[in-house]
Amino acid sequence: MRILWGMSMMLAAVRAAAGPVTELQPQQLEAFIARHEYVVVQLTSPDPGCGYCKGADQTFDQAAALPHQPALAFVRVQWTPWRKIPDFSKLMKVYGVPTQYVFNKGKLLGDISGRPPAAPAFLAKIDEVIADPPADRVAAEPQAAAQEAPAVPLTAAEQGALRQMIRRDALKLVTGMCANRFPDRAKAYQDALQAWSGARQAGLNQAATLMLARTSRADAAVMGKLVDEEQKAMQAWHTGKLGLSMQKAPTAADCDKIAAALKDLP
């Protein structure tokens, strides 16, 4: 189970209204990418056996609905069963789903693996990939790079608040998935998350203020690093502390264990 968690940031580029997500068949993807300047591709599956695909499409849709760069096109390719990954060798190597890939003028810039984080953070991740293009694009845009504002260092308190937001968003994804799988236990999972969040409301409020103030690409890189660090920490909590598998969808017992463990999670 690869879970990505998000915190919220606005993109530094000029924004415009988003378009809908285009659904394509695998064989249609190459031509679509060739026709658009920037393309964000989500590969996922509606197969119930792909537990970590659940909800990935919703977050992707939410990100596409937010203001973003005018040239950015969002597209999704799905198939079932999820393990039978189509051949995308002309475009990229695919090792698992869900995964998101960012293209510019037909060239792969990078990927964002796993379920997307919260929509604003996912847009920040996309912006981070675009901001770190291949060497030939860097050479063509030295002036733009030189004009990029440096990140303002985060204080320890600010980092702590943002980490709390990242964890909160991670827990929302997990408890939401558990509530969808086991609706008779949904209230217990939601109550556990509410109790955890309520005890940290001051920090979450501070993080919400920070996400509005930190808008440069350099800030996106700094905050993206926090997301990656918290992802690893939460994975360690999931497998080491709770002893749960990351290779299969959670059972009711797994979900109950996660909810019970929230009271001891920092």
Beta bridge partners of 77: 24, 43
Beta carbons of 60 and 76 less than 8 angstroms apart: yes
Beta carbons of 202 and 92 less than 8 angstroms apart: no
| pLDDT classification of 23: cutoffs 50, 70, 90 | very high
Beta carbons of 255 and 189 less than 8 angstroms apart: yes
Residue in the block written with tokens 């509530």: 179
Q: Cα(191)–Cα(199) distance, rounded to whole angstroms?
A: 12
Q: pTM higher than 0.85, yes or no?
A: no
pLDDT of 195-254, one tens digit each?
Answer: 999 999 999 999 888 876 765 556 666 777 787 788 788 888 988 889 988 667 789 999
**What pLDDT was estimated at residue 135?**
45
Q: What is the DSSP string of 146-191?
A: HTPPPPPPPPHHHHHHHHHHHHHHHHHHHHHHHHHH-GGGHHHHHH
pLDDT more than 70, % of the chain: 81
Q: Is the CA virtual torsion 83, 88, 89, 95 positive or negative?
A: negative
* 3-class state of residue 205 by DSSP: helix
